[in-house]
């Protein structure tokens, strides 16, 4: 079984009519909340799943990682620096704002051994697989 994305739609396109109205009114009233979707790579080997989230320029305390009812949610916020000190930006392509990504976790993941490490702008989450239990038994023929 593989790790599955939970929120596959881009947050720029609301999934329902209520989300469309909320986005319309918030943006038209100047209450635009910046959001972005960081790039995510998912891999698997015999021992674990690994999720890598590309979020440079953050600190480890800026992340929230939660596993609830089989759904792993990774969220955080990257705030824009307000220090300009004579700088006039001609281009600002770095993504700022809040983000949230969620994934359904397979049943064979051991939730007690999940680890998260942030280094070099990449948040890595390791989801070790539970040890395989031998399901072999002798069955008596009656």
- Mind listing the pLDDT tens digit of every residue in the chain (142 residues)? 566 655 545 445 555 656 655 555 555 444 456 788 899 999 999 999 999 999 998 999 999 999 999 999 999 998 877 666 777 777 777 788 899 999 999 999 999 999 999 999 999 999 999 887 666 777 778 7
Backbone CA torsion sign across 11, 13, 72, 93: negative
How confident is the model at residue 29, as a pLDDT?
Answer: 47
Backbone CA torsion sign across 38, 3, 67, 15: positive
* CA of residue 98 relative to chain centroid, distance: 11
Do the beta carbons of residue 7 and residue 15 sit within 8 Å?
Answer: no
How confident is the model at residue 85, as a pLDDT?
Answer: 73
How confident is the model at residue 30, as a pLDDT?
Answer: 47
CATH code linked to domain 37-79+95-128: 2.60.40.790
β-bridge pairing 115-119 and 122-128: antiparallel
Domain positions in the chain are 37-79+95-128
């Amino acid at each position: 079984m593989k790790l599955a994305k939970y929120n596959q739609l881009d947050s720029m396109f609301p999934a329902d009519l209520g989300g469309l109205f909320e986005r319309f009114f918030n943006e038209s009233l100047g209450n635009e909340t910046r959001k972005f979707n960081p790039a995510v790579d998912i891999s698997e080997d015999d021992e674990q799943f690994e999720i890598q989230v590309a979020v440079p320029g953050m600190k480890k305390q800026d992340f929230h990682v939660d596993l609830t009812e089989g759904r792993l949610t990774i969220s955080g916020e990257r705030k824009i620096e307000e220090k300009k000190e004579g700088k006039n930006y001609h281009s600002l392509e770095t993504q700022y704002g809040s983000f949230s990504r969620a994934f359904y976790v397979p049943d064979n993941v051991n939730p007690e051994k999940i680890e998260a490490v942030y280094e070099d702008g990449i948040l890595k989450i390791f989801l070790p697989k539970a040890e395989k239990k031998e399901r072999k038994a002798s069955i008596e023929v009656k």
